[in-house]
Structure formats: C-alpha cells, structure tokens
Amino acid sequence: MYIRSLESVELTASLTCSDGLQNIAAAVIVDTNVSDWRKIQMQLLAKVTCRTSRLELTTSKRGVIWIDQVSLIPSDTYKGHGFRKELIHMLVDLKPRFLRFPGGTFVEGILLRNAFRWRETIGPWEERPGHYGDVWNYWTDDGLGYYELLQLAEDLGAEPIWVFNAGISRNDQVDTTAIAPFVKDVLDSLEFARGSAKSTWGSVRAAMGHPERFQLKYVAVGNEDCDNTKPFYQGHYLKFYNAIREAYPDIQIISNCDGSSEPLDHPADLYDFHIYNSADDLFLKKDTFSRTSRTGPKVFVSEYAVHVDGDTSKGSLQASLAEAAFLIGLEVNSDIVHMASYAPLFVNDNDRKWTPDAIVFNSWQQYGTPSYWMQTFFGESSGAVIHPVRLNSSYSGSLAASAITWRDNEDIFLRIKIVNFGPNTVNLTLSATGLEAGVDTSRSAVTVLTSNYSLDENSFDDPLKVKPVKSGLA
C-alpha cells in the first residue's frame, strides 16, 4: 500500500475476524518520512485460521493520513504471478488451448470513455489509472491488465486471443473517418506483445520483466459489434484488418460478423459466434454447423452457455447436458469449427453479475459447476480424429454422441461420448468397427456425469453434488 501524511505515522495493519474480536495477525508501521507518497510492504502471518477475516488499518494517533493502492494477496501464487493456485489449477485441469481476453462487453463499455484501454493497464500497478466498467457496474484498478493476461496465457501454455475495442461501444461509436488513432493503438499493442525488446513498446514489456516476445497469433476486432445498430463496424473492421495483415501477416483475424448462415462479405480468418439459450434450445442447436458452408473462414464459438435472462439457476446438470450436446455438435463439425469456449469462466460469489459460470469462488473456497465438469470430457478433443457414429434408439431425438481417437506416446485411445438429454433411462449397447484386436480393457473406463435430479446444482455446502464418477469398463 501507499501512505502519505504531513506528520509521522504510527499504523497497525492487522487481519481480524469479521466480528472484530479475534486478531490473527498484525504488523506495526512507524515512519517519520511520509510527506511524499511512500510504498509500504509487509507480510502478515496468520496465527490461526479465520475464514471471514478482514484487513484493518488502525492508529491511536490523531492526525490525517492518506492511504492508496491497498492490496492483500497470498504470498504463494501460481508461478508467482498473483493468481490463487487453487483457482488456476482448476483451469489447468480443463487443458485450455487458448485464453480469450480481456472479455466481451467489458471491452466495449456502454460508453467509449469506459472501454478497456490497454495502455492504461500496463506499467507499475500504482500508476495505472483504472476505469469504470459501466457494463457490469464496478470500478477496476486494472491490476489484471493486458500484460498480466498475456502472461497468464503463457503460464497456461495457451494461445492468447486479444479482443480489442474497435472504436465502438454499446451506445456510441466513432466514424470510420476517425478510426486511425484506434488502429494505431492496436498496432502498438501488438508491438508490445510481439516486438523486440529494443522496439518502442517491446522495451516497455521488457522493462516489466518479460524481454521475450509473447506468442500472440489471434486478435478479435471488437465484441458483438456487427449488427444494424453499429453501422460503422465493417468500415472499421477493414481498416484494422488491412493494417494488421500488412504489419503481422501471420496473425489470425476474427470478425464479429456471423458467417454460419450466409458468407461474410469481407475477409477474415475466423468469425465469432456467440450463443446463450435455454437448455432445450441449446440442445436443438447441436446441428447448427452441420449446415454451414465448408468454404470461407473458420468458426470461433467464443461464448456459449445455457443462460436465460431472469433465470436464477447457478448452473444445473440439465444445463451441462445441453452444453455437452452442443459441444458434440461442434466436435463432429471440427472441419469448420476451429475453437470454442464456455463463458463466463470465473465468478466471485460475493459479486455475481451473471449466472451461471463455470468456476465459483470466494475468499477461501471454490467449486466447479456441472458445466465445468462437463468440459473435462472434451480435454482431448483438440487434434483428435473424429469417427462417424450411428445411434439406433427410439430415444435418438434426445441423444447426442461422438467418437474420437488420439495418440498418447505409443498408445491410441478411443473416447465415446453420449449425452442423454431426455427424461428416460436409456440402456446402451456399444459396438465399434475397425478397432485393433488388442484392446486393453484393464485401462478402459466409463465416466458418468449425472445426479438424482436434472436441476441439481453444486454449491459451497455441497461442491461435488454433481461430479463425474469413474468406474471400470465391464
């Protein structure tokens, strides 16, 4: 934290249980030279556990003290980069191939003045001005900025996907004749990520502790900006596209315009597809890309989930089954569908703005919703070989299935996924043609995600109510 006072300072920083009765850690700050802002760092080592503890700054001396940039984080974080280990380990278990950041509508803002500005999120944390996230109604100090998100993607071994503001917000936008500063801003952001340590912006990255270039190969031009209320998007898009293609010809450029039913009228490597539906409707959307043209840009399903406005569900088994069926539809159409990501990923239970989410946490707990566990079934799908599947059942209208094989060292693995979205129990007999004779059944398993009721949810009180259960293959 930073402190300033015209007099000497005597402060006590302590961790105290929320009832104010039990002090579990304390450190005394005495300083006579604080007429200018002074950075104070200390370690508070708790003597006991108190899950509802809070940070208190107290003094018994009368006077005026200015306090700024107060932060309390664990000393042991994921790869030393500030993230709680237990949260990132849950993310690692999903085997992410990419990280899309910094978000969707967070990038736009309701007003352009509240859009995400990457330049203001780099450099020393205390020098970042922060901004008001007017879409979700909270102030962010931008401590989790452009640099930190590039670094997180690198730590995860995932491809970073940089979603930048395209000069458009929810309620205002600049004319295409005035888009040049925005284009320059994006080119500078790419130099920050990919430029040499001696370049203008690459040197800023190097000064932050990362002289090596980040492997940034994907950018998205805006978020949900291609509709009739935003007439300048395509003009803006072409300006960005041409500038990026000239400077970085290897970067894959993602358009906001949906090309699933009609071809795009502008160049793109991929196009965004967002879908939030009821469970019933999302299940029915599983064949969406079976009817999509095989020519032109690939599909990036960058946001999908069961979500209905006004629904208070925090993530049910039923939702995860519909999402699994939809993902199977993407998997079997992977010749055209390049990437897919559930959204949103994390939510702090103390400040929910949206439901459901994949991973729920508070200051000391975390759990995965059924939608989180559903995604673990698709961890090996990237780069796998898809095989044709035929379902013979009177309930086939409520079933979805896929089969993939992949190689791990010298072994070839087969995974068959089947979703039963209906209310009836379905007994299955599986047969596979073309398998080699030496199938090792001792290393084979059946994993089931189910529960007593389709609307069952996980919670802090019962975090594993809905979870995958693994058993041997009979």
pLDDT tens for the chain, 474 residues long, are 999 999 999 999 999 998 888 999 999 999 989 999 999 999 999 999 998 899 999 998 999 999 999 999 999 999 999 999 999 999 999 999 999 999 999 999 999 999 999 999 999 999 999 999 999 999 999 999 999 999 999 999 999 999 999 999 999 999 999 999 999 999 999 999 999 999 999 999 999 999 999 999 999 999 999 999 999 999 999 999 999 999 999 999 999 999 999 999 999 999 999 999 999 999 999 999 999 999 999 999 999 999 998 777 899 999 999 999 999 999 999 999 999 999 999 999 999 999 999 999 999 999 999 999 999 999 888 888 999 999 999 999 999 999 999 888 878 888 999 999 999 999 988 888 877 766 677 788 999 999 999 999 999 999 999 999 999 886
151 & 29 share domain: no
pLDDT of residue 435: 74
Query: Which residues partner with 415 through β-bridges?
Result: 404
Cβ of 229: how many Cβ atoms within 10 Å?
10
284 & 416 share domain: no
172 & 233 share domain: yes
Tell me which residue range forms the domain holding 25: 2-68
Query: Which residues partner with 39 through β-bridges?
Result: 2
pLDDT of residue 444: 87
Distances 410 to 227, 416, 443 between C-alpha atoms, Å: 49, 20, 14
32 & 82 share domain: no
126 & 181 share domain: yes
Left, alpha or beta for 255 (phi > 0: left; psi -120 to 50: alpha)? beta
173 & 313 share domain: yes
The CATH code of the domain that includes 156 is: 3.20.20.80
CB within 8 Å of 46: residues ≥ 6 apart: 15, 24, 25, 53
pTM: 0.94
Which of 12, 46, 68 finishes a domain?
68
154 & 216 share domain: yes
Which of 68, 90, 118 finishes a domain?
68
417 & 355 share domain: no
pLDDT of residue 235: 98
Calculate Rg over the CA atoms of the chain: 25
Closest CA to 193 of 149, 237, 254: 149
Residue 73 maps to a domain:
no
CB within 8 Å of 16: residues ≥ 6 apart: 22, 23, 24, 53, 54, 56
Residue 330 maps to a domain:
yes
242 & 111 share domain: yes
169 & 313 share domain: yes
Residue 272 maps to a domain:
yes
45 & 175 share domain: no
Q: Token pair of 189, please?
A: 């952001």
Distances 310 to 136, 214, 353, 420 between C-alpha atoms, Å: 16, 40, 12, 26
Which of 68, 97, 113 finishes a domain?
68
pLDDT of residue 438: 63
In total, how many domains does the chain have? 3
